[in-house]
Every structure is written in C-alpha cells, then in structure tokens.
C-alpha cells in the first residue's frame, strides 16, 4: 500500500486520523480533529494534484453532533424552498444524507450552505435529489444501498486495494499488449458484449440479451475460451437498454463479485428494465437464468461515475464516461490503457444529433487510437431528416386527426422514446400546436419518474426549462397517468386524445389493447415513432396487413379489422442516422487510427466500414462474434 504510506507522510502532525480506507479508486480518511475536518480542503487539493487520487476527509464518530440536534441545525440553515424530503444518517461513513426537491439550495451559493452544515454539525453532508415524480425504483435502489453500507464499505475497500496493487516492476513496456474479444453484438443488433484484455486486466463492456432470439442465440458467447468469470476484474455498462444490460445480473449469478461501473441513471434504469424483463418472461413461461436477487446483487456491487469523472478501475485501466445522447445516463466509454499505451473509445449506442432530451454525443476526446462504433443505421440510405421538419410533420399528422375528432395511439418503448415524445408533446402544447389530453399507460410513468431524479443528465434545453423557468415538461398538466380500468372510458369517449402506451412494437401490453378498441374507426390514427421488428404486430401493420388474428382475453382467436389511419414518423430514434455517424467522424477532436464496427446488421456494418475507410483513410474492421482483435 505504498500510496497510503506516501499520503501519511504528507498529513499534518495533528490530523488525528483514526481510519484509512479505499472506496474504489478514492481514498477516505476519518479524523478526530474537528479543525482539520473543517479546513482540509486546501490540503486535499494539493495531494489530489500530486498523487492523482481523489481523497475525502470524513469525521470520526467521536466528533459529530447528535442526530436530532443535527436535523434541527439543518432545518434551520437550509431555506424552506429547498423542500427537504428526508434527512437520515450513514454513521459508518460519517455522512448525513439530505434529500431535497431542490438540492442546489442545500448546497448554496459556491457551496456556502453545504459548508455551514458541515462546520456546525461535523457530519459530511451528502445531498441527493428527491425526484419530482416519486419513483419506486429510485427509492428501492437508495434503500438497498443504504441497508448494505457495511458490505459496501468492505467491498469498496477490496476494489481499492486491487486497483492500487502495483504491477510487477521490470516488465518490458514494449511487450505490453491490448486485445479485444467480440462476445456478442457484432454483425448483429442485440446481446452486445465485449471483453478487453491486457497483460494485467480483463474487463467486460456490456452484457446484453437479444430479446428477439431464443436459446443460445439470445446470450453472448460465455463459452468463448477467453471468458472466465473468475478472471473478470470489472464490468462496464454503457447504458440500460436490455441489449446491453440484460445479462449483467446473470454475471453475479455465475459468481462474479467485482464492481459494475455505470452512471447513476443507468443503474436505476437497468433495475427497471431487468425487473420488467424477468416479469415478462415469467408471465410467458420462459426460463431466465437469474432472479430479482441477482439484480439486487448487481446494484450492491455498482460503482457510479458522473460524466467526465476519471477513475482508475484496474492497475492499468482508467475509465471515463461521456454523454452519448442516446438514453438517460447513456455513455461513450473512454479507456486510457497503460501509461499512454492506448486509448479506446467504445461508442456503444450514440446519437450525434439534437433531440429534445439530450445534447449530441460527446466529441472532444483528446486521444483515440481505436474507436468502436455502432452501425444500426449504417446503410447509405439510413439518413435522418432534419429535426425541425420531423417535429413539424409529427404535429401536422396529429393535428389533422384531432381536428377530425379522432384519437391518436402512439405505441412507444417505455424508456427513452416515451419520454422523448412526452417532451415533444409538452413543447407542442405550450406552442399551441394541439390541445387535448395525453394518456400514459405502461412502464412509461416509472421511467419518467427516474428521469425526474436526474435532470442534470438531460439536454441543455430541458435543463433550462426545469432550472431557469421552473417548467418541467414531464410535469405538464396535459399528461394523465391511466391504468387498465380506464381504457374503455378513453376508447368510448367522444373527445379527441393522444395515448402513449407500451409496448412500442405492439408485441403485447396496453398498446395492443388500445389498438383493439381504436382499430374499427377510420377517424383514429395509429402513429409509429420507432423501429418495428419484422415479425412484430407493428411490423406487419406497417407492411400493409389490415386483417390480423388476435387473441381475446378468453383465449379465443378472432380477426381484427384495421380501419384506422396508419402513419410513420422516421428519425425520432435515439440512434445516429448514417449522416450523423459520418458527421461524428468529421467532428471528433482526435481522429482514430482504427475504427471497429458493431451493433448493426452485417450488411450495414460492412457498408459503413467501406465508406469510412474511403473517406477517412482509417483502418476499418468488422469482426464477427468470437473473433478477437489485437489493438496493440
């Protein structure tokens, strides 16, 4: 533990340190000296600069104020407008957790209020946002982490010791190597899984499930010779979509006990999606190799990083997440390997274009040797139209239906598209593009609640609305959360309305129930805003099927005649279109020497690779699953 020794020599003589612990890549010191606790900021700044480690000073329990007294002090200091929702303690970590609707007011101007709480109570304040819409998932995740503090303290210390174990010295730098193994999601969409190996570390990036496929085709190649659960040092999750996260809990079922790195929203959305995945499969009698307990294990081992926060994750890998513009908390993964040996960016799913919810993907990487990028819309004709035109035709189509006295059904994927459409509708309503209620049914509401817990992960447009104008588009009064018992009333009413319901491809769920009710009336409209799989009900309707066999609730099959209008709006996807993928390579700060393509149909991957090679003269590769590439 040489780093701790070095730290010790630099501490002031009267620091009275009672405990030194790692918390992942961070070092935590507990002190019995009140003065040192209050004034250690400058001291830390110097050390952080020299040791390149984050350090936090926390109070030993002998110096903190009593809990009741502390609560009183906090309520006195913090302005009422902050709307404190809860105050509780984590004595094991010397922290008082303050949950507030407006956390900025608990921190105060330049951190003044925060410091006042710290100095008066000698607890270290941890300030969390209370979601504007109460979220069961956010609550459950926070409760779980809170109840597992003891386990996490030991776990995070173990991770820190591992990260800070020096490599065997005397190794010849010229012999260092880096290789990438494709375990899933190459020349296909679904089951994304990549293994990165160096002389010293093995980490996995994403571990997804191919929801549309069955059996072994649904899961990554866990039987590849390179993969061994015992040798896995860390897992990195780019974002919460199931084709990236669906089998993360399975790793813990297999016995993995190491860290899961992701952003805080990715962690919470992963819980929502994996739990729903388990429910759906259970209802349909399909066996999944893990349980809700495994999802909890993943949360227990999660280490969250904000965008731009740099963290060592093994002795030779340094990780940074940057915004990907694709989904709440979605990240491009930057790995700095060795001491300047190699820089890899795993782009995962990214959108290099504006949307209501997110700013375009981050492009200011200072050094990239290898870029791995998606090819979902890699064909030359996968062009995304201009955003303004898309929204204009969206409201044009909706406006015509409403003027005609019809109802609009928009099947949406609960996480991501659902919220994007909500943001577009809230804006359109404010601009008087339409005026009727919008009903939401299915997972959309739970996902929206999670979005309200992390507004700082949304676009600058959304943040301006929420923080400067106090108008949260998700809280607009046009939105009404409804449940199955409200369906008949909505379908039978003569008033026009808009219905957002899951599932997005009409595979099942409330969207199909609404379709059954709305299909016979030609005044109504079915509006597709997302990709429809070939074999799904949505796909069939898009291809022109107008008489569909459906099962009634009693299990009898009958024919559903589709008379309502059908329209598709393209370009609202969270993925980059072909023009945006190429645009990304034009705009990226550091031109990669090598670009590897994945996450796309085989044909699209090759088409994109060919054109990138032609235009940018970079080495391009389209590996197949099970292939490995030596990066260095």
Q: Which of residues 107-166 bind Zn ion (CB under 5 A)?
A: none
Nearer to Zn ion, 33 or 330 (CB): 330
Please report whether residue 441 would count as binding Zn ion according to CB under 5 A. Answer: no
Nearer to Zn ion, 241 or 356 (CB): 241
CA–CA distance, 458 with 478 (Å, rounded to integer): 21
Rg (CA), the chain: 26
Nearer to Zn ion, 102 or 575 (CB): 575
Strands (E), 185-242: 193-198, 202-207, 234-236
Provide the minimum distance between the beta carbon of 190 and Zn ion in the complex, in angstroms, as a whole number.
8
Nearer to Zn ion, 99 or 243 (CB): 243
Nearer to Zn ion, 373 or 541 (CB): 373
SS3 8: helix
CA–CA distance, 44 with 10 (Å, rounded to integer): 10
Provide the minimum distance between the beta carbon of 240 and Zn ion in the complex, in angstroms, as a whole number.
8
Among 176, 349, 391, 607, binds Zn ion (CB under 5 A): 349
CA–CA distance, 551 with 563 (Å, rounded to integer): 18
Structure tokens at 25: 């890549």
Among 176, 243, 268, 276, binds Zn ion (CB under 5 A): 243
CA–CA distance, 484 with 505 (Å, rounded to integer): 19
* Residues with Cβ within 8 Å of residue 603, at least 6 apart in sequence: 379
Q: Which of residues 223-242 bind Zn ion (CB under 5 A)?
A: 241
CA–CA distance, 190 with 123 (Å, rounded to integer): 46
Provide the minimum distance between the beta carbon of 326 and Zn ion in the complex, in angstroms, as a whole number.
6
CA–CA distance, 86 with 171 (Å, rounded to integer): 53
User: What strands lie across the sheet with 95-100, from one edge to the other?
Assistant: 84-90, 95-100, 124-129
Nearer to Zn ion, 54 or 241 (CB): 241
Structure tokens at 292: 């809700």
Provide the minimum distance between the beta carbon of 498 and Zn ion in the complex, in angstroms, as a whole number.
25
Provide the minimum distance between the beta carbon of 599 and Zn ion in the complex, in angstroms, as a whole number.
6
Nearer to Zn ion, 316 or 349 (CB): 349
Provide the minimum distance between the beta carbon of 174 and Zn ion in the complex, in angstroms, as a whole number.
37
Q: Which of these segments, 140-148, 347-355, 381-389, 492-500, binds Zn ion (CB under 5 A)? A: 347-355
Q: Which of these segments, 4-12, 44-52, 343-351, 377-385, binds Zn ion (CB under 5 A)? A: 343-351
Nearer to Zn ion, 30 or 352 (CB): 352
Nearer to Zn ion, 55 or 354 (CB): 354
Quick check: 459 and 357 in contact, CB under 8 A? yes
Provide the minimum distance between the beta carbon of 367 and Zn ion in the complex, in angstroms, as a whole number.
26
DSSP 57-122: EEE-TTSSPPHHHHHHHHHHHS-GGG-EEEEEEEGGGTEEEEEES-HHHHH-GGGHHHHHHHHHH-
How many other C-beta atoms can be found within 10 angstroms of the C-beta atom of residue 542? 17
Provide the minimum distance between the beta carbon of 466 and Zn ion in the complex, in angstroms, as a whole number.
24
Provide the minimum distance between the beta carbon of 241 and Zn ion in the complex, in angstroms, as a whole number.
3
Q: Which of residues 3-32 bind Zn ion (CB under 5 A)?
A: none
Provide the minimum distance between the beta carbon of 192 and Zn ion in the complex, in angstroms, as a whole number.
6
Nearer to Zn ion, 328 or 582 (CB): 328
Q: Residue 416's beta-bridge partner residues?
A: none
Q: Residue 128's beta-bridge partner residues?
A: 99
Please give the residue ranges that form the binding site for Zn ion (CB under 5 A).
241, 243, 349
């Amino acid at each position: 533990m040489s780093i701790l020794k070095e730290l010790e020599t630099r501490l002031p003589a009267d620091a009275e340190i009672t405990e030194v612990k790692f918390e992942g890549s961070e070092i935590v010191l507990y002190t019995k000296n009140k003065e040192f606790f209050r004034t250690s900021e400058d001291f830390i700044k110097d050390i952080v600069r020299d040791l390149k480690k984050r350090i936090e000073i926390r109070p030993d329990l002998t110096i903190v104020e009593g809990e009741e007294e502390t609560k009183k002090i906090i309520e006195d200091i913090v302005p009422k407008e902050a709307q404190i929702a809860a105050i509780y303690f984590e004595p094991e970590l010397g922290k008082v957790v303050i949950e507030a609707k407006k956390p900025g007011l608990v921190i105060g101007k330049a951190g003044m209020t925060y410091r006042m709480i710290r100095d008066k109570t000698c607890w270290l304040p941890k300030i969390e946002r209370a979601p504007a819409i109460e979220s069961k998932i956010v609550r459950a995740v926070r409760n779980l982490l809170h109840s597992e503090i003891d386990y996490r303290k030991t776990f995070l210390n173990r991770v820190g010791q591992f990260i800070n174990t020096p490599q065997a010295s005397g190794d010849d730098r010229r012999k260092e190597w880096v290789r990438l193994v494709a375990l899933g999601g190459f020349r296909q969409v679904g089951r994304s899984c990549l293994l990165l190996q160096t002389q010293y570390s093995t980490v996995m990036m994403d571990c997804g499930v191919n929801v549309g496929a069955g059996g072994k085709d649904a899961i990554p190649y866990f039987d590849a010779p390179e993969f061994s659960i015992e040798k896995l040092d860390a897992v990195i999750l780019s974002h919460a979509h199931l084709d990236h996260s669906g089998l993360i809990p399975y790793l813990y079922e297999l016995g993995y006990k190491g860290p899961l790195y992701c952003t805080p929203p990715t962690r919470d959305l992963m819980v929502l999606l994996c739990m729903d995945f388990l429910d759906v499969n259970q209802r349909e009698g399909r066996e999944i190799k893990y349980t809700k307990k495994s999802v909890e294990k993943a949360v227990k081992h999660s280490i969250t990083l904000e965008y731009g926060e740099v963290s060592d994750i093994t002795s030779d890998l340094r990780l940074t997440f940057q915004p990907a513009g694709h989904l709440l908390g979605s990240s491009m993964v930057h790995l700095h390997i060795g001491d300047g040996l190699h820089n890899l960016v795993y782009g995962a799913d990214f959108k290099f274009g504006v949307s209501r919810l997110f700013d375009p993907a981050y492009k200011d990487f200072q050094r990239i040797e290898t870029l791995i990028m998606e090819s979902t819309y890699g064909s030359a004709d996968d062009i995304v139209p201009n955003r303004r035109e898309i929204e204009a035709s969206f409201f044009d189509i909706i406006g015509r239906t409403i003027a005609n006295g019809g109802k609009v059904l928009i099947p949406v994927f609960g996480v991501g598209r659902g919220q994007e459409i909500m943001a577009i509708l809230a804006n359109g309503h404010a601009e008087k593009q339409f005026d009727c209620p919008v009903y939401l049914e299915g997972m959309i509401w739970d996902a929206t609640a999670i979005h309200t817990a992390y507004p700082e992960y949304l676009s600058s447009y959304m943040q301006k609305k929420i923080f400067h104008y106090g108008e949260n588009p998700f809280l607009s009064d046009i939105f009404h959360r409804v449940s199955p018992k409200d369906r008949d009333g909505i379908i039978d009413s003569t008033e026009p309305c808009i219905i957002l319901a899951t599932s997005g491809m009409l595979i099942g769920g409330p969207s199909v129930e609404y379709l059954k009710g709305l299909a016979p009336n030609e005044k109504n409209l079915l509006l597709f805003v997302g990709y429809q799989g070939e074999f799904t009900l949505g796909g069939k309707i898009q291809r022109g099927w107008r008489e569909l066999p459906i099962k009634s609730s009693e299990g009898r099959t009958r024919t559903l005649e589709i008379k309502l209008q059908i329209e598709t709006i393209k370009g609202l996807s969270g993925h980059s279109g072909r023009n945006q993928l190429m645009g990304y390579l034009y705009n990226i700060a550091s031109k990669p020497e090598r670009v590897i393509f994945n996450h796309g149909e085989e044909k699209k991957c090759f088409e994109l690779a060919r054109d990138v090679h032609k235009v940018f003269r970079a080495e391009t590769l389209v590996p197949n699953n099970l292939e490995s590439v030596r990066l260095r």
